[in-house]
Amino acid sequence: MIDLMTDRTHDEAKQGEAYAPFNGDPNQYRKRFYIESYGCQMNFSDSEIVASILNKEGFGATRHAEEADLIFINTCSIREKAEQTVRKRLTEFRKLKEEKKGMLVGVLGCMAERLKSKFLEEEKLVDIVVGPDAYRSLPTLVDEAEGGQKAVNVLLSRDETYADISPVRLDSNGVSAFVSIMRGCNNMCSFCVVPFTRGRERSRDAESIINECKDLFERGYSEVTLLGQNVDSYSLPLPPSQGRGTEQFFTFAMLLEKIAQIAPELRVRFSTSHPKDITDDVLHTMAKYENICKYIHLPVQSGSTKILQLMNRTYTREWYMAKVDRIRKIMPDCGISSDIIAGFCTEDEQDHQDTLSIMEYSRYDMSYMFVYSERPGTLAERRFKDDVPEEVKKRRLVEIVELQNRLSLESNRKDIGKTFKILIEGDSKRSDKDWMGRNSQNKVVVFAKEDYQLKKGDYVNVKVEDCTQATLLGKIIN
Ligand code: 5AD
Ligand code: SF4
């Protein structure tokens, strides 16, 4: 299914069941909650903040919805399909609610923000509605809902970053963790609902980010992924005495460097970059540190300057291509991936061909590919007609997916014979005799464990011997 061309980043199809394990006594908690996350990594990361807030109030997480007193669903509004998935899930929770008296259901995240109290009226199945900036009020809202009141908080904030909250790592492999560095988005891409659901951009205090990363490393994690809707616009004012040259701001490049310096064995990744904002400073910092992964998610959205303008992306086709050149010049071995939308308003065959040709030019290792889905309240919904017929959108998406499949295979074939340093994430999906890990470029590599005494979180050199379109297959090199 084409719409499932997504993985860890924007995946409303894959439901994330999250849990924090009990430590010993099952009766240590006054109530149990179950939380399920949809959408982007930011949502998964937010669920870990929610779990931390609830834990402090004496609530313990459970893996099993039927055991829970509170069910939370952390939702995504990015495409209509994402919202449909959530609605379906809510009707499934209805059954549990009927069976277990007093069970409460809460909607968190972007859909909560978008639909606000409408949720309580429309969907009689929901007791609590909380937007992305209001999670600190969850315990109070739970109390209110238990008392039979309508519990809604969808206030957006200009400064909430949850900087002081130490996330409870849910469903973690113990190797890799997400660290939120900023929230919100000021870009106003015309197709996107995020500026409305997640509010204004704000950067999290640098010290709290660095401390969280240090703490993760000390607890045995080997990789952190710095998260933000637009990480390159991370910026904090510096006291005048600390400015570097004329620079009076603590930038994303500076943050990246500080985190890379925590330990050479701690891998650093980040997502997402906006092509207009990623600086040479960031690219040079990436090149300087071996442990900053050579991988950039650089969404193009469309290859046509006309469409990019309507999307309010603020760059042209040529400008984007020059950015790709710059990345390849500074880091010839850098992996690049993209997000692509097929069938945006007024897109004609030439615009579509421009998208295909920019994909060829950029030689993406991987892409997340979507048909355009009009979202209520966005600039595009207000200004333009959603005029590309559904079957044309789908046909164009098929062509985009087929091209990406070829590009991914070509990119993987080029790696045959090369040796990469792999961070082991766990057993491969197919067999516990094989390890699965990633190289710096974020490619998945599968290889036999053989008799080596290795474990999750170890680094190992692997020589690639074969590949599929999605995976490199290799052998451990001594
Ligand atoms: N329709 C289709 N895809 C969208 N995206 C964002 N909004 C829409 C929409 N209305 C895609 C973009 C973005 C990714 C997270 O989701 O490609 O980069
Ligand atoms: Fe994440 Fe965007 Fe979906 Fe919100 S709408 S969950 S920010 S992908």
The full set of domains in the chain, from first to last, is 20-153 (3.40.50.12160), 176-413 (3.80.30.20), 419-476 (2.40.50.140)
Nearest CA to ligand 1 atom 13: 339
Find the ligand nearest to 11 CA: 2
The secondary element (H helix, E strand) that includes residue 342 is strand 335-342
Show Cβ contacts of residue 217 under 8 Å, excluding neighbours closer than 6 positions.
224, 262, 263, 265, 266
Q: Which atom of ligand 1 is nearest to the CA of 371?
A: 2
Distance separating alpha carbons of residues 19 and 361, to the nearest angstrom = 42
Do strands 444-448 and 434-438 pair parallel, antiparallel, or not at all (unpaired)?
antiparallel
- For residue 6, is the peptide bond before it cis, meaning its omega torsion is within 30 degrees of 0? no
Closest by Cα among 232, 106, 231, 114 to 178: 231
Question: Is the backbone of residue 171 left (phi > 0), alpha (psi -120 to 50) or beta?
Answer: left
**How far is 34 from 465, CA to CA, in rounded Å?**
43
Ligand 1 centre distance from Cα of residue 79 (Å): 7
Q: How far apart are CA 379 and CA 361, in angstroms?
A: 30
Least Cα distance to 371 among 80, 19, 73, 62 occurs for 80
One digit per residue, the tens of pLDDT, for the chain of length 478 reads 333 233 333 333 333 334 444 444 556 678 999 999 999 999 999 999 999 999 999 999 999 999 999 999 999 999 999 999 999 999 999 889 888 889 999 999 999 999 998 888 876 789 999 999 999 999 999 999 999 998 999 999 999 999 999 999 998 899 999 999 999 999 999 999 999 999 999 999 999 999 999 999 999 999 999 999 999 999 999 877 665 566 689 999 999 999 999 999 999 999 999 999 999 999 999 999 999 999 999 999 999 999 999 999 999 999 999 999 999 999 999 999 999 999 999 999 999 999 999 999 999 999 999 999 999 999 999 999 999 999 999 999 999 999 999 999 999 999 999 999 999 999 999 999 999 999 999 999 999 999 999 999 999 999 999 999 999 999 999 7
Q: What's the CA-to-centroid distance between 77 and ligand 1, angstroms? A: 10
Helix, strand, or coil (residue 40): strand
